[in-house]
Amino acid sequence: MSDYQLVRYCAPTLAGIKTGSLFTMHLPSDDLRQDITALNRSMRKKGIRIIPLKVCETYALIYLYRPEMLDRDLRDPKAKCILERFGYQINSSDRCVVDLARRVKSSPVFPHEIGLFLGYPPTDVDGFINNPNEGFCAVGYWKVYSDAEGALRIFDRYKKCTEEYGRMLRSGRTLEQLVV
């Protein structure tokens, strides 16, 4: 897993402005476990955790997140309601991540409540779950069902962050230097 890949898909999370990021890594990679272990060791002190949600023969779905931000996000009453609807044990965010991994592996459809784990507004996650093809007012990192103006500002912030982190990485900064 390269630093460029992490910056491309996870810069806003690395910068501390987004709860979590999700990306696919093509396999086979003999070093997947070693890479994840090393990243967790170096990033844990900066409040970041990385786990594989699903590993197949040809790819791994990787979740990089900030546990403290996830704790805050999942305390939202609407987020709790959504997660309870899908059988999550909402007593801890760590348990919710375990439940998410289980759902990603076993569900015949992709679990759209994953937006809650990425920092998307619960209203928008609920809107997408209930009506994915209608009623949205903007599209970017997610489909927006309320507050399009606010979401567009966030999208722009994420885009600028990713561009800036890419520029800093290319100019010689290390991944550890970039993580806030």
At 9, list the tokens.
Answer: 């898909």
Q: What is the pLDDT of residue 29?
A: 62
Please state the domain extents for the chain. Answer: 3-174
Tell the residue number behind the tokens 């927006």, with chain if given.
144
At 131, list the tokens.
Answer: 């009506």
Across 78-158, the runs of DSSP E, i.e. the strands, are: 138-139, 143-144
Helices (H) and strands (E) in the chain, counts: 8, 5
Q: Do residues 111 and 125 make contact, with C-beta atoms less than 8 angstroms apart?
A: no
The pTM score is 0.94
- Express each pLDDT in 44-89 by its tens digit: 999 999 999 998 888 899 999 999 999 999 999 999 999 999 999 9
**Helix axis angle, 67-74 relative to 77-85, nearest 10°?**
90
Average pLDDT in the 27-52 region? 88
pLDDT tier, 34 (very low <50, low <70, confident <90, very high otherwise): confident
Residues in Cβ contact with 145 at an 8 Å cutoff, skipping those fewer than 6 apart: 123, 124, 126, 127, 128, 135, 136, 137
